[in-house]
Structure 1
Amino acid sequence: MSINISTDKQKLNIDFIHQFLTRSYWAKGRTKDEVRTSIEHCLNFGVYINTTQIGFARILTDYVVFAYVMDVFIIEEHRGNGYAKQLMKAVTECPDLQNIKRWMLATSDAHNLYKQFGFDAIPDPSKIMGKLII
């Protein structure tokens, strides 16, 4: 079965994305309005079989210096078919992102996927700071 990956926001199924994210370990409880707002301000990748959405990723970026990969998923019933690899290939090869110097992401369980695309532990994490509001 072949998939189509698109950055067209008009094709995104917000209800589908919200339903998945609100059950995920990293976005549990995120509201539909929060999902909609996050999509409005990012470069988004929808993954489709025919017209049915089966996956998603969004990239927060300035298109020059920095890209943060977020909310990457393929729904459970379509995992194991290489679709996540195809999605990450589309993200990392996207013409609009080829000037990016620093890519980042956070994951608890998909290290092996991201390592295939050059992601690794930050060499000196003491330089990275954050602010988490729970």
Structure 2
Amino acid sequence: MAQPFPDATYEFSADPARVDAARAHQLISEHSYWAPGRPREVQDAAIVGSRNYGVYHSATGEQVAYARVVTDGATFAWLCDVIVDPAHRGQGIGKLLVGGVTADLEPLGLRRTVLATADAHGLYAKFGFAPLVEDNTWMERRP
């Protein structure tokens, strides 16, 4: 599934074969607040275990954004590692990426899709995400 940007400068793709694993690793390990310095082998394993998405510059084919979803494909999904190259931010690429991901997941009829963000609440709200209603029911285990 490929969706063009309104001015055709960028294109969303859900084709896992288009994902540039080295580029996804670079974006996340160098520009994210949640996984700085993530080792390449960890990112590669995450890619293998996920549904992967990208936004690409139409003229050059360069991957300028990446996201992945961990899901059972039937009831639950976790949208994570959403990142846009800093040189391309402020142009609506995040909207193109999140809109493409949510459209790709829609046919699955998932009961819940979750994510965590420290700085993009407004972006995700445009696609129906809201703070957890019963956040005291969620728990976590850390090593």
Report the TM range for the smaller structure's normalisation.
over 0.9
Work out the CA distance in 2 between the residues paired with 1:96 and 1:116.
15
Which residue number corresponds to residue 129 of structure 2?
A: 119
| Compared CA separation, residues 95 and 72, structure 1 to 2 (3 A) | closer
Which one of 109, 130, 140 corresponds to residue 130 of structure 1? 140
Which residue number corresponds to residue 82 of structure 1?
A: 92
Work out the CA distance in 2 between the residues paired with 1:13 and 1:45.
10
TM-score, normalised relative to structure 2: 0.87
Equivalent residue runs for 1:19-58 within 5 Å: 19-23=26-30, 24-50=32-58, 51-58=61-68
Once the two structures are aligned, what percentage of the paired residues are identical? 34
Work out the CA distance in 1 between the residues paired with 2:138 and 2:130.
14
Alignment coverage as a number of residue pairs: 133
RMSD: 1.4
TM-score, normalised relative to structure 1: 0.92
Which one of 5, 14, 21 corresponds to residue 7 of structure 1? 14
- After superposition, the C-alpha distances for 1:22-69 in whole angstroms (9 at most, x for unaligned) are 122101121111111100111110110131100000000111100100
CA contact (8 A) 2:79 2:113 kept: yes
